[in-house]
Amino acid sequence: MNEISMKAYAKINLCLDVLGKQANGYHQVEMVMQQVDLYDVVTVKCNPMKKKKNDVQITDPIVVTASRNDLPVGETNLAYKAAKLMQETYKQDSEIYIHLEKNIPVAAGLAGGSADGAAVLLALSQLWHLHLELQELMELGVQLGADVPFCIMGQAKKMQNLQLRGKEWASTCAFAEGIGEKLTPLPPLDCLVLLSKPSIDVSTAVVYNGLCLEDIKSHPDTKELILGLKEKNLRKIQKNMINVLETVTLRDYLLVAEMKQYMENFETAYQVLMSGSGPTIFALYTNRKKARLAYINSKKKSNETYLIRTLS
Give the DSSP letter string of 281-305.
EEEEES-HHHHHHHHHHHHTT-SSE
Read off the pLDDT of each residue in 238-243 and give the average, rounded to a whole number: 96
Res 76 pLDDT > 90: yes
Specify the long-range contacts of residues 292-300, CB closer than 8 Å, at least 24 apart.
Answer: 293/266, 293/268, 294/194, 294/263, 294/266, 294/268, 294/269, 295/194, 297/266, 298/194, 298/196, 298/262, 298/263, 299/196
Question: How far is Cα 51 from Cα 55, in angstroms, rounded to an integer?
Answer: 5
> In this predicted structure, what is the pLDDT of residue 168?
82
pTM for the full predicted model? 0.93
Residue 214 has pLDDT above 90, yes or no: no
Catalytic (active site) residue 147: yes
SS3 content of the chain, % helix, strand, coil (to 5): 35, 30, 40
> Residue 259: is its pLDDT beyond 80?
yes
Least confident of 90-94, 115-119, 220-224, 237-241: 90-94
CB atoms within 10 A of CB 51: 12
Pairing of strands 94-101, 62-66: parallel
Distance CA 135, CA 152 (A): 9
Residue 58, pLDDT score: 56
* Cα separation, 166 vs 106, whole angstroms: 31
- Taking the CA atoms of residue 101, residue 104, residue 105 and residue 111 in that order, the dihedral angle to the nearest 10 degrees is -120
DSSP state of 130: -
Q: Quick count: other Cβ atoms within 10 Å of Cβ 120?
A: 31
**Of 7, 11, 197, 290, which residue is the catalytic one?**
11
Which of helix, strand or coil describes residue 265? coil
| Cα–Cα distance for residue pair 292/294, rounded to 1 Å | 5
Q: Is 11 a catalytic residue?
A: yes
| Distance from C-alpha of 201 to C-alpha of 180, rounded to nearest angstrom | 22
pLDDT at residue 161, as a whole number: 75
Domains and CATH numbers, the chain: 3-185 (3.30.230.10), 192-309 (3.30.70.890)
User: Tell me: the pLDDT tens digits for 158-168?
Assistant: 887 777 788 88
Q: Report residue 213's pLDDT band, with 50, 70 and 90 as the boundaries.
A: confident
Which entry of 17, 40, 116, 147 is annotated as an active-site residue? 147
- Name the 3-class secondary structure at 35: strand
Output the DSSP codes for 194-235.
EEE--SS---HHHHHHT--GGG------HHHHHHHHHHT-HH
- The residue among 138, 220, 234 whose CA lies nearest residue 182 is 138
> What confidence tier does 237 reach under pLDDT thresholds 50, 70, 90?
very high
Beta-carbon-side half-sphere exposure of residue 137 (alpha carbons within 13 Å)? 32
Distance of CA 4 to the CA centre of its chain: 21
Better-predicted residue by pLDDT, 53 or 246: 246
Summary mean pLDDT of the chain: 92
pLDDT at 212: 87
Per residue in 13-69, pLDDT tens? 999 999 887 767 678 899 999 999 999 999 999 998 776 556 555 577 999 999 999
Question: pLDDT tens across 126-156, in order?
Answer: 999 998 999 999 999 999 999 999 999 999 9
Q: How far apart are CA 162 and CA 158, in angstroms?
A: 9
Q: How far apart are CA 15 and CA 227, in angstroms?
A: 13
